[in-house]
Amino acid sequence: MKRWGPAGWYPGAPCAGCQGLADIQLVYGNHFPSVWEYAEAVRADAFDVCTYVGAVCPICGRSCGYRPIPAYRRGVIELFPVYRKGEVQVARAQCRTTRRTFSLLPHQLAPYHRYTVDSMVITLVVAWRLCDGQGKPRLEKTLDELPADCDVTLWLLQCWVQTLARGLRGAHPVLCGWHDLSGMRSGTGLADTLREVAQYLGALGVRGPPRIEGLEEVLLRYGARVGRFLIGTASQDRRPRLAA
């Protein structure tokens, strides 16, 4: 059974913050070439939840306290190196005590985002390179660099800037133990925030496009260290909605 230290989540430990939620999402660090190969393994029933999670239920903390249940379908879009849109099946299991479920979302995806992490990162790297001489983003030109069939909008690009910045800022205490992040400066406006994301990626050794290199290692290492998604917020970490 894998353990990632007392400060972070590990398979077999009750998940902090999962009380009262119908579903939690665990990051599945894997070595499949892409999310599509992961999905094929799940579809072919070649994926064993118990082997990864261990015998202890991550929700109730009891030994043999969960059972695998059928995977759920999730829409996924990949922009690079080729445009691909489809559905993947995500492995999941149910706690025998609480009846709540947990899923193993591959690290190539971000919770509540259809586009792969690679797609978001590459797009923002392109956006940064297309900034004008004063560092002002030219998001309209960024859209021109994306596949014609995709539905990425200016609003979505701005959301990705904030999503990546939020994830990188939150991971800063962990990441700075592996990389020199002393030059990071938080931004407030869109231009400053995009610059901050670009600085983080450069400091972390992420290179590209046309293909992104170095990102896989960062995602895997961070997920293994703290059991959280670097990009995106899992369901158990979201604030519960207030009743109307």
pLDDT digits (tens, 9 = 90+) for 161-186: 999 999 999 999 999 999 999 988 88
Confidence of residue 133 (pLDDT cuts 50, 70, 90): low
Each as own residue / partner, the long-range contacts of residues 172-179 (CB below 8 Å, 24 or more positions apart, any chain) are: 174/222, 174/225, 174/226, 175/200, 175/204, 175/218, 175/222, 178/221, 179/203, 179/204, 179/205
Q: How far apart are CA 219 and CA 121, in angstroms?
A: 12
Confidence of residue 5 (pLDDT cuts 50, 70, 90): very low
Query: Count of domains in the chain?
Result: 2
> HSE (CB half, 13 Å, CA atoms) of 6?
0
In sequence order, the 6+-apart residues with CB closer than 8 A to the CB of 17 are 236, 237
Q: Are 148 and 97 found together in one domain?
A: no
Which structural domain range is residue 194 located in? 117-216
The verdict on residue 2 lying in a domain is no
Q: Is the pLDDT of residue 82 over 60?
A: yes
Q: Are 191 and 131 in contact (CB under 8 A)?
A: yes
Q: Are 29 and 46 found together in one domain?
A: yes
Quote the mean pLDDT of the chain: 86
The verdict on residue 3 lying in a domain is no
Number of Cβ within 10 Å of residue 48's Cβ equals 11
Strands (E), 133-208: none
Q: Are 172 and 207 found together in one domain?
A: yes
Which of 63, 73, 71 is CA-nearest to residue 95?
63
Q: Are 54 and 90 found together in one domain?
A: yes
Q: Are 171 and 227 in contact (CB under 8 A)?
A: no
pLDDT digits (tens, 9 = 90+) for 142-155: 999 999 989 999 99
Q: Is the pLDDT of residue 136 over 90?
A: no
Q: Is the pLDDT of residue 78 over 90?
A: yes
More confident residue, 243 or 115: 115
- Per the structure block, which two tokens stand in for 230? 């670097």
Each as own residue / partner, the long-range contacts of residues 84-90 (CB below 8 Å, 24 or more positions apart, any chain) are: 84/36, 85/149, 86/36, 87/39, 88/35, 88/36, 88/38, 88/39, 88/42, 89/39, 89/42, 89/43, 90/42
The verdict on residue 12 lying in a domain is no
Mean pLDDT of 108-126: 96
Q: Are 52 and 139 found together in one domain?
A: no
Q: What is the pLDDT of residue 240?
A: 59
